[in-house]
Amino acid sequence: MARNFREIAIPTRTDCLALMEHYNMLPHIREHSLMVTEVALRMGASLQEAGIPLHLPLIEAGALLHDIGKTSCLGTSHNHAEWGARMVNAEGYPEVAGLVREHIVTVDGDDPAVIREAEVVNYADKRVLHTQVVTLAVRFADLKERYAKSEEARRRLAALEEKARRLETKLFFHLNCTPVDLLKLNHAREEP
């Protein structure tokens, strides 16, 4: 089943890198975003090959810009996903802003069989700890160590982890590889 992709404004990779610079994205957040992009594009291309209609340029821009609001939110109580979505929307990219908004928590759709670009970016972000591809268990152990300071925070993270596991199952149902196979991207990046 093919989807018709309407003409939408999507920044190029060069545009995204310029926006990272313009918004003073810290180098370690930029490196994280580049690795998330690598994972998201690999997943998106594999899902496309399996017959899932996805728009790879949208996935690439969403992954590159998913943490665009993080630097300016450090030390504040602002939600960096919401903040970043506003920034990207103000730049004239509302569809990309939607992916940025959903990179922490996806909006549940009506049809569980439909895979959206926002889900691919969300999952890719859940698989990258700093600049390394890791398992969901490792990623969430780190998140819990850093952010589970209250019972409410622990409950939120547990729910987020469960949602990420369901998303992983949904995505890999269509693929002839496993989540562990993504770990190979760490070695591919190290090779010349």
- Torsions phi, psi for 122 (to 5 deg): -60, -50
- What is the predicted pLDDT for the residue at 1? 40
Task: Return the H-helix or E-strand segment holding 128.
Answer: strand 128-129
Please, what's the largest Cα pairwise distance for the chain?
45
| Domain residue ranges in the chain | 13-187
Q: DSSP letters along 69-81, please?
A: THHHHTTSS--HH
- What is the predicted pLDDT for the residue at 7? 78
The predicted-structure confidence for 17-32, as pLDDT tens digits, reads as follows 999 999 999 999 999 9
CA of 103: how far to CAs of 96, 151, 177, 190, in Å? 11, 23, 23, 26
Q: DSSP letters along 39-52, please?
A: HHHHHHHHHHHTT-
Per CATH, the architecture of 13-187 is what?
Orthogonal Bundle (1.10)
CA–CA gap between residue 160 and residue 142 (Å, rounded) = 13
- Short-list 63, 83, 82, CA closest to 72: 83
CA–CA gap between residue 32 and residue 84 (Å, rounded) = 15
Helices and strands (H and E) in the chain: how many: 10, 2
Least confident residue range of 51-55, 100-104, 109-113, 184-188: 109-113
Instruction: Pick the more confident residue, 153 or 188.
Output: 153
CA atoms within 13 A on the CB side of 112: 7
- What is the predicted pLDDT for the residue at 110? 64
Q: How confident is the model at residue 189 (pLDDT cuts 50, 70, 90)?
A: low
In the chain, the N- to C-terminal Cα span, in Å, equals 39
| 108, pLDDT greater than 80 | no
The predicted-structure confidence for 120-171, as pLDDT tens digits, reads as follows 999 999 999 999 999 999 999 999 999 899 999 999 999 999 999 999 999 9
CA–CA gap between residue 141 and residue 86 (Å, rounded) = 29
Mean pLDDT of 79-106: 96
Neighbours of 31 (CB within 10 A): 14
Token couple for 156 = 């939120």
